[in-house]
A = this chain, B = another copy of it.
């Protein structure tokens, strides 16, 4: 891996190759399998060699986030602000979904990276270019929260249902007794397969767009009526 074929020198490491290999490794083996040691091994190098290109693991993760951010396409041109923002966010979602670990890592970063700041800046720019006030835009960004990254913090994933149908029935009966409302809405709608918890067996994309539109429609309404933050009004 990464050695010249016969006896020659290894092609030297650099920050970019480290980051891209880290992303690939996380894609393949999961983020929890990504350690400085495993990454070093992947690169055919001793663990401490990585520290010549990356200050520490935190910065490695920051760098990985920026790699993903780099995969988000450019903003669409010529649409209204609402559609433009909507499309951008859905594009971001698509990028993030390609790397199942990415949303967790994005969330875990304690501060912004250059890449994330750039992305946020461009989304904000779309709002402002659409004529929204800086004030309203500010609140809109907060309201969107992590949704600008194309994901929602799910409340809880359903545990995988037991494969013994008898056990499964018992679990469901138990749940229905203890958490009747949860079961009621989890089984509501045709699209739901079984007694999964909120966030379990539903169409995530639908839920995402539902919430996104709820927020964008609300912002649009406020914008049209010239809303301004009468602090605590």
Decide if B142 touches A198 in the complex (CB within 8 Å).
Answer: yes
Decide if B179 touches A229 in the complex (CB within 8 Å).
Answer: no
Q: How many copies of this chain does the complex contain?
A: 2
Decide if A111 touches B185 in the complex (CB within 8 Å).
Answer: no
Decide if A181 touches B142 in the complex (CB within 8 Å).
Answer: no
Per-residue interface assignment for chain A, residues 118 to 139, with 1 indicating a CB less than 8 Å from any chain B CB and 0 otherwise: 1011101100100001110111
Q: Which residues of B contact A199 (CB under 8 A)?
A: 142
Q: Which residues of B contact A110 (CB under 8 A)?
A: 157
A167 interface hit (Cβ, 8 Å):
no
Task: Give the secondary structure class of A's interface.
Answer: helix
Decide if A185 touches B137 in the complex (CB within 8 Å).
Answer: yes
Decide if A206 touches B218 in the complex (CB within 8 Å).
Answer: no
Interface size on A, residues (CB 8 A): 65
Decide if B135 touches A146 in the complex (CB within 8 Å).
Answer: no
CB distance from A150 to the nearest CB of B (A): 13
Decide if A118 touches B232 in the complex (CB within 8 Å).
Answer: no
A219 interface hit (Cβ, 8 Å):
yes
Which residues of A does B touch, CB under 8 Å? 107, 109-112, 114, 116-118, 120-122, 124-125, 128, 133-135, 137-139, 141-143, 145-146, 148-149, 152-159, 178-182, 184-186, 188-189, 191, 197-199, 202-203, 206-207, 210-211, 214-215, 217-219, 222, 229, 231-232
